[in-house]
Amino acid sequence: MDSREALGSWLEGPKAAAERMGADFGYRGERLGRPQTGSGAVAGPGRRIGALFVDGWIANIIALGLLAHGNLAKANIYGLPVFFAVNAVLLATAGTTFGKRLFGLRLVRLDGNRATVPQVLLRTLLLCLVVPALIWDRDQRGLHDKAVGTVEVRS
Residue 23 lies in a domain: no
Sequential pLDDT tens for the chain (155 residues): 555 555 555 666 666 666 677 666 778 888 888 998 899 999 998 999 999 999 999 999 999 988 888 888 888 888 999 999 999 999 999 999 999 999 999 999 999 999 999 999 999 999 999 888 888 888 889 999 999 999 999 99
Reported as a single tens digit per residue, the pLDDT across 3-23 is 555 555 566 666 666 667 766
Spell out the SS3 assignment of the chain.
Answer: CCHHHHHHHHHHCHHHHHHHCCCCCCCCCHHHCCCCCCCCCECCHHHHHHHHHHHHHHHHHHHHHHHCCCCHHHHHHHHHHHHHHHHHHHHHHCCCCHHHHHCCEEEEECCCCECCHHHHHHHHHHHHCCHHHHCECCCCCEHHHHHHCEEEEEC
Please report whether residue 16 resides in a domain.
Answer: no
Residue 11 lies in a domain: no
For 100-113, what is each residue's pLDDT tens digit?
A: 999 999 999 999 99
Q: According to the model, what pLDDT value does residue 133 have? A: 84
Q: What is the pLDDT of residue 148?
A: 95
Number of domains composing the chain: 1
Residue 21 inside a domain? The answer is no
pLDDT of residue 26: 77
What is the residue range of 114's domain? 28-154
Asked whether residue 15 is domain-assigned, the answer is: no
Residue 69 included in any domain: yes
Q: According to the model, what pLDDT value does residue 7 have?
A: 53
Question: Which pLDDT does position 74 carry in this prediction?
Answer: 82
